[in-house]
Amino acid sequence: MFREKHAGMESDHMLKTTVTALLLGFVALSIARLAHDEIFKAPADETLAAEAGDRAREMIVYYFWEPPRCDTCRKLEAYTLEAVRDGFADAMKSGRLEWRMVDVSEPQNEHFTKRYGLFTKSVVLSHVEAGKEMRWKNLEEIWLRVGDKADYLAYIRTEVEKFLKGE
Amino acid sequence: MEGSFGGAILAFWLGILTSISPCPLATNIAAMSYLGKKVGRAGQVLLSCAAYTLGRAIVYVGLGLLIAESLLSIPGASNFLQKYMNKLLGPILILVGMFLLELLTFDFRVSAGSEQLREKAAARGILGAGLLGVLFALAFCPVSAALFFGSLVPLSIEHRSPIAFPCLYAVGTALPVLAFALLLALGAQQVGKVFTQVSRIEWWARRITGAVFVVAGIYYSLVYIFRWI
């Protein structure tokens, strides 16, 4: 009886030690990966940036994102694309309007964060002429409207329409 | 009085919107389980809830003031906190979970009597809830960053309400968590009373909380450090 109890306590102790070691190992690995990513971060290279300039005049709908992609972020992305694709099919086909998704965690895209003052996933409209950006607008209400799909689609379409008209 | 009634309601509502969005779900579950674990002591659960809310309020008021005084830029603060706090949160949650599970222990040498010992343990629990509030408020996810930096801060500046609005926002972000924590604690207390097992349920509540922290920590590490999910 005593021996059985003693054996049970020993196996409990061993399980506890194993779980502790595994979890501490995982914590150490996480911290090592974090440090590695910070130390060996690739330097920013703005020349690789996905910028406009190859066409004379262009309107761009940017969706700026970075991992991880939360559920709401995926909705922002899908709804915006749907609004642009369905609402401005002709403009997109003619190349007057372009949809671009940009991962701002990539070093070559970091400058977008500064240029547009981005602080989270964002939709920005940009008007470019001869490679030069003439004006831009950050659609700041996306987060307040994403809960209502119809409202969100209408908001994006209205804003893009106004932007295309130069308003 | 600073601000306006409409602005105050909006600040509170932005807090609620933040807390019910899916992205802070893991931290909300961890907070709920931590705050509700003192099953047999409703008073202490309430004090922990208040401390948790205060912790969140301190962060939001502090950030709001630093931005209003131009000591911090919105993109700078938001991107820094989103990038680093979520990454640090994983290992921190795992370590806290390990303490709750008693896989790791601190050797607190206290020579006081059992009553004083209990008071010290309770005070530590309340301080822990406050620190948890600070930690979780700093861990901005895309939704909370958008609502706080994009809506609440401009609203506070516009209404010249650098303290009241961020506090209302903090209450809004904490309220659903607090409600569930109280329900959890009271529900478990009732079950414990029925089976005269309150202390046993408390023992389990502490372990479940520890496990929740460890799982949430692993999830945060996988998502934000290893980018696996």
- pLDDT score of A164: 87
Distance (Å) from the C-alpha of residue A20 to the closest C-alpha of chain B?
6
Inform me whether the C-beta atom of residue B20 falls under 8 Å from chain A C-beta atoms.
no
Cis bond leading into A68, ω under 30°? yes
Return the H-helix or E-strand segment holding B214: helix B198-220
Tell whether the model's pLDDT for residue A45 goes beyond 50.
no
| Confidence check on the interface: ipTM exceeds 0.95, yes or no | no
The whole-number average pLDDT for the span A42-60 is 55
Tell whether the model's pLDDT for residue B172 goes beyond 90.
yes
Q: How far is CA B143 from the centre of its chain?
A: 16
Using alpha carbons, list the distances in angstroms from residue A46 to A50, A121, B27, B40: 9, 20, 36, 59
Report percent pLDDT > 70 for chain A.
85
Fold category of A47-164 in CATH: Glutaredoxin (3.40.30)
Measured between alpha carbons, how far is B108 from B96 in angstroms, rounded to an integer? 16
Q: What single-letter amino acid sits at B197?
A: Q
Residues in A closer than 8 angstroms to B74, CB to CB, are 117, 119
Local structure of residue A108 (DSSP, 8 states): G
The whole-number average pLDDT for the span A127-144 is 89
- Return the higher-pLDDT residue of A11 and A138: A138
Distance (Å) from the C-alpha of residue A12 to the closest C-alpha of chain B?
12
**Is 0.80 topped by the overall pTM?**
no
Residues in A closer than 8 angstroms to B223, CB to CB, are 68
A13-34 pLDDT tens trace: 888 899 999 999 999 999 999 8
- pLDDT score of A52: 46
Inform me whether the C-beta atom of residue A38 falls under 8 Å from chain B C-beta atoms.
no
Confidence band, pLDDT 50/70/90 cuts, at residue B113? low
Q: Is B150 in contact with A27 (Cβ distance < 8 A)?
A: no
Q: Is B103 in contact with A114 (Cβ distance < 8 A)?
A: no
- Return the higher-pLDDT residue of B62 and A69: B62
B25-58 pLDDT tens trace: 888 888 888 887 776 677 888 888 999 999 999 9
CB B44 within 8 A of CB B131: no
- pLDDT score of B21: 81
Q: Is A120 in contact with B82 (Cβ distance < 8 A)?
A: yes
The whole-number average pLDDT for the span A141-158 is 93
CB B57 within 8 A of CB B64: no
Return the H-helix or E-strand segment holding B88: helix B86-100
